[in-house]
């Protein structure tokens, strides 16, 4: 099983250039607790440890900090994945934000779109990523130092962010996976999805109903045995 670090290396070694990154990567400030947790999580991933173990809360660590670090990391990962296919995801090819014929996602943000609105997939995903980026860049919502408390709404916001990021996985897998396979990124994307799925399952962060569009693929990819390295 390829470690998630291999996914980033895949992009850095010339398979894809920086122009294909959908959004700038969000970086955690060095010297902060969250940066330390991020490096700890990356070290575990790089070791090839069982992904089901990687997502578990480390002893004596705060759950909100652990989730915040992963939300930022998953934003970056999904950003990279969508960057591989965004040139092929157009209003013509993808006139709706869907995950197959049974699932269509409507955008609502309470501001520009006060009612659920059908949008072409690239516009929906652009708005989604803008919205997520605004949340994780707001230090009152995602504090970067221990002296700033998490807001009471933090957990519910993270659930909404992760549910919406899952929809990008849905769209990529169902409508654009041929492109992922064509550039040889299938194993890396599958590993990223497994990490995401194990994390949201460990902390029950995405409702089961949201997971239905990829249920068959999840059963095939995520319920196989994992290597058990110590």
Query: Binding site for Zn(2+): residue ranges?
Result: 89, 94, 171, 176
Cα dihedral angle (172, 48, 12, 184), rounded to 10 degrees? -50
Backbone angles phi, psi at 76, to 5 degrees: -65, -40
Distance of CA 87 to the CA centre of its chain: 19
Which of 19, 113, 131, 10 has its CA nearest to residue 75?
Answer: 131
Residue stretches of the annotated binding site: 89, 94, 171, 176
What is the distance between the alpha carbons of residues 4 and 12, in angstroms, rounded to a whole number?
13
What is the distance between the alpha carbons of residues 161 and 155, in angstroms, rounded to a whole number?
10
What is the distance between the alpha carbons of residues 66 and 199, in angstroms, rounded to a whole number?
11
Residue 32 token pair: 């902060």
Q: Which residue has the tokens 């950003």?
A: 79
- Is the separation of the CB atoms in 1 and 48 below 8 Å? yes
Residue 53 token pair: 């173990």
């Amino acid at each position: 099983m390829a470690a998630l670090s291999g996914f980033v290396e895949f992009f850095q070694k010339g398979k894809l250039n920086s122009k294909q990154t959908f959004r700038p990567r969000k970086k955690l400030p060095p010297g902060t607790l969250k940066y330390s947790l991020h490096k700890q999580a990356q070290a575990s991933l790089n070791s090839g440890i069982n992904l089901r173990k990687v997502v578990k809360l480390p002893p004596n660590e705060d759950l909100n900090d652990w989730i915040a670090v992963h939300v930022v990391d998953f934003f970056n990962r999904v950003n990279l994945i969508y960057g591989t296919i965004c040139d092929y995801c157009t209003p013509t090819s993808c006139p709706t934000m869907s995950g197959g014929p049974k699932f269509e996602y409507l955008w609502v943000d309470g501001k520009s779109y006060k009612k659920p609105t059908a949008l072409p997939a690239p516009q929906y995903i652009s708005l989604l990523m803008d919205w997520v980026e605004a949340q994780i860049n707001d230090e009152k919502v995602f504090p970067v130092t221990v002296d700033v408390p998490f807001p009471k709404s933090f957990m519910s916001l993270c659930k909404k962010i992760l549910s919406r990021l899952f929809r990008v996985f849905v769209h990529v897998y169902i409508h654009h996976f041929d492109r992922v396979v064509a550039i040889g990124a299938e194993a890396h994307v599958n590993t990223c999805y497994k990490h995401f799925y194990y994390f949201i399952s460990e902390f029950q962060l995405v409702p089961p109903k949201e997971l239905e569009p990829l249920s068959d693929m999840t059963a095939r990819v995520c319920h196989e045995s994992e290597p058990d390295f110590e």
